[in-house]
Structure 1
Amino acid sequence: MVKTYEQGDTSVRKVASRFGVAKSFVQKLLSMKKTQGHLKPRQQTGVMKGELDQCETQLAAMVEQYPDATLLEYCEYWGTTYNHWVSTSTMCRALQKQKLTLKKRKVACGETALQAGFPP
């Protein structure tokens, strides 16, 4: 769009209608080209931090103390202990970042399978 306008013989309004954009968008691009000298996108800044990123030691202690707990139980424990309620997905991401895995309940799975009628 900028090249088309810079070739001359046309107005901002005609360039906008030719490319199907608003006149203000073409003006914005032209002013960016004039002030910055290019139209490259700006570099993204900042990093999204998780809610539990600062709680590494507490999370590790919780998992060590209760290795058989489910994500929901971890969330309830965290909310009652630290008065900071989080969702199961938040808890899961925090545990995955620290490479803390949940221990599988073999007994509970076997009992559930027997109750459902599955052979052992």
Structure 2
Amino acid sequence: MGLNVMPAPYSLDLRQKVIEAYANKEGSIRQLATRFKLSKNTVSGFLKRLRETGTVHPKRGEGVGHPAKIDEPRAQYLTEVLQCEPDLTLQELCQRFEVRFGETISTSAMDRGLKKHRITRKKKRSTIPKNTPPGSNNAGLSIGSK
């Protein structure tokens, strides 16, 4: 199961060394990239960040990516739906969500949202248990006379 884990940002110390070297005209972006074993895009990114924000500190991870589609009111709706119909599949929940809120949602996003809001689904067994002894082949039917 592969998790999407972002690599750690480059250290502040390295960022400052690259910026200082560039400010001291110790080489071009490409030369500094080679010297510090970085890509030229990374060095350019450090310089751009300094120009735009006045700092070379890495961005914070907050606000990265898409906002969750399932907020508190929507989680409450899903809880109510599942209380009435606990056997709904993720796909069926997605369809109900789309009808109610006018937005599509993938089954994986639905699953993440249910987990985030600790909404559990108690599904019934999909097969009917057999009432026959193990190894029996007659499936509970008796053949013959009484």
Q: TM-score, normalised by structure 2?
A: 0.51
- Count, aligned residues: 105
More RCO (CA 8 Å, sep 6+): 1
Q: For the residues of structure 1 that align with 2:46 and 2:77, how far apart are their CA atoms?
A: 53
Task: In structure 2, give the amino acid aligned to 1:95.
Answer: L
Structure 2 residues without counterparts, runs of 5 or longer: 1-17, 130-136, 138-146
1:109 equivalent to 2:127? Answer: yes
Equivalent residue for 2:27, pick from 3, 6, 12 = 12
Q: For the residues of structure 2 that align with 1:84 and 1:46, how far apart are their CA atoms?
A: 21
Q: For the residues of structure 2 that align with 1:52 and 1:84, how far apart are their CA atoms?
A: 11
Task: In structure 2, give the amino acid aligned to 1:87.
Answer: S
Contact map agreement 1:67 1:102 (CA 8 A) in 2: yes
How far apart are residue 109 of structure 1 and its match?
Answer: 3.5
How far apart are residue 2 of structure 1 and its match?
Answer: 4.0
> Hey, what does 1:71 align to over in structure 2?
90
What RMSD, in angstroms, separates the aligned Cα atoms of the two structures?
3.7
Equivalent residue for 1:96, pick from 85, 96, 115 = 115
Contact map agreement 1:56 1:98 (CA 8 A) in 2: yes
Equivalent residue for 1:39, pick from 50, 56, 59 = 56
Contact map agreement 2:91 2:107 (CA 8 A) in 1: yes
Task: In structure 1, give the amino acid aligned to 2:104.
Answer: W
Q: Deviations over 1:79-111 (max 9, x none)?
A: 3344333221122122112211121322x1346
